[in-house]
Amino acid sequence: MKKRGSHVSVIISFILFLIFITFTYTILMPAITKSHEKMIVKEIEEKIINRTSANLTSATIKITIDPSKNCIKIPYIESTHSSNTIIKNKNSSIIPSDDDGSGYFQIRWPNPDILKYYYSSEDFEQIHNGDLVDCQTLIKGTDYSIGFETEGAYVFETKFIDLLINDYGIFKENVKSSVGEDFDIGFIYSNGTKITSSEKNISTNVYIKEIPIKYVNRKADINSGFMEIITWG
């Protein structure tokens, strides 16, 4: 009788052990999975940032004379050229400008005496004006001065869209071999418009993360948006 009772105790203990293991797995596994997905998403995020970021430099230009013509000329700042430079007024409106072909910007005048000058390695959307001729050349230190300058790294709209449209296949394979999971990404504009790489409809085991970003658009405006990363495995 005692022997039979001991067998029953062993069986009950084993059943309780299985219940405990099942309960623990049920409680802990979602947390472990979520932590793992967060690590995967963080690695994908870093690789996207590295691929789509560039420096944006801005400076103020103070005009210290009253130009006598309807346009002025100033030399390039550093190693810039017209396609990757935008000049704005104090209200952040783009001022028509052109490249004169000899290292100078031609800028429509009259304008406020303080201009904003933005440049990067990426091309911007220009407002050109073909009638900027016979412009007045200004001399740095005498006719104008370069004021406060800032530089920072940002996600660029053009680089992110280029990644989605032209390079996503190669990028995805390289990243996938590193993180070991399948994924899609998306770019969400400040107005909510989304461009995504989504290739298929996934309904199970999906982890979605929208990450706030500051991005530079084609007018050199710094906007708030989101980077979307979707993983599954």
Domain assignments of the chain as residue spans, ordered by start: 55-152
pLDDT at position 33: 53
E strands in the chain? 53-63, 71-75, 85-88, 97-99, 104-108, 114-120, 136-137, 144-156, 182-188, 194-196, 206-216, 222-232
pLDDT at position 31: 46
Q: What's the average model confidence in pLDDT over 217-226?
A: 95
H-only helix segments in the chain:
2-52, 157-162, 168-179
Q: What's the average model confidence in pLDDT over 53-57?
A: 93
pLDDT(32) > 50: no
Confidence of residue 147 (pLDDT cuts 50, 70, 90): confident
Closest by Cα among 159, 112, 105 to 128: 105
Bridge partners (DSSP) listed for residue 155: 53, 215
Q: Give per-residue pLDDT as tens, 159-216.
A: 999 999 999 999 999 998 888 888 999 999 999 999 998 766 666 678 889 999 999 9
pLDDT at position 189: 96
Q: How far apart are CA 92 and CA 71, in angstroms?
A: 19
Q: What is the mean pLDDT of the chain?
A: 82
Q: How far apart are CA 23 and CA 27, in angstroms?
A: 6
CA distances from 75 to 24, 59, 101, 103, 163 (A): 70, 14, 11, 6, 33
Closest by Cα among 226, 218, 57, 88 to 152: 57
Question: What tokens appear for 112 in the block?
Answer: 């406020």
Question: What tokens appear for 99 in the block?
Answer: 């490249």
pLDDT(158) > 90: yes
Q: Give per-residue pLDDT as tens, 88-107.
A: 988 888 888 888 878 888 88
Rounded to 5°, the CA angle 24-27-29 comes to 90
Q: Give 44 or 34, the one with higher predicted confidence.
A: 44
Confidence of residue 113 (pLDDT cuts 50, 70, 90): confident
Closest by Cα among 218, 163, 178, 179 to 50: 163
Edge-to-edge strand list for the sheet holding 104-108: 97-99, 104-108, 71-75, 136-137
Count of beta carbons in the 10 Å neighbourhood of residue 20: 10
Closest by Cα among 44, 29, 48, 36 to 233: 36
pLDDT(1) > 70: no
Confidence of residue 78 (pLDDT cuts 50, 70, 90): low
pTM of the model: 0.78
Q: What's the average model confidence in pLDDT over 104-133?
A: 81
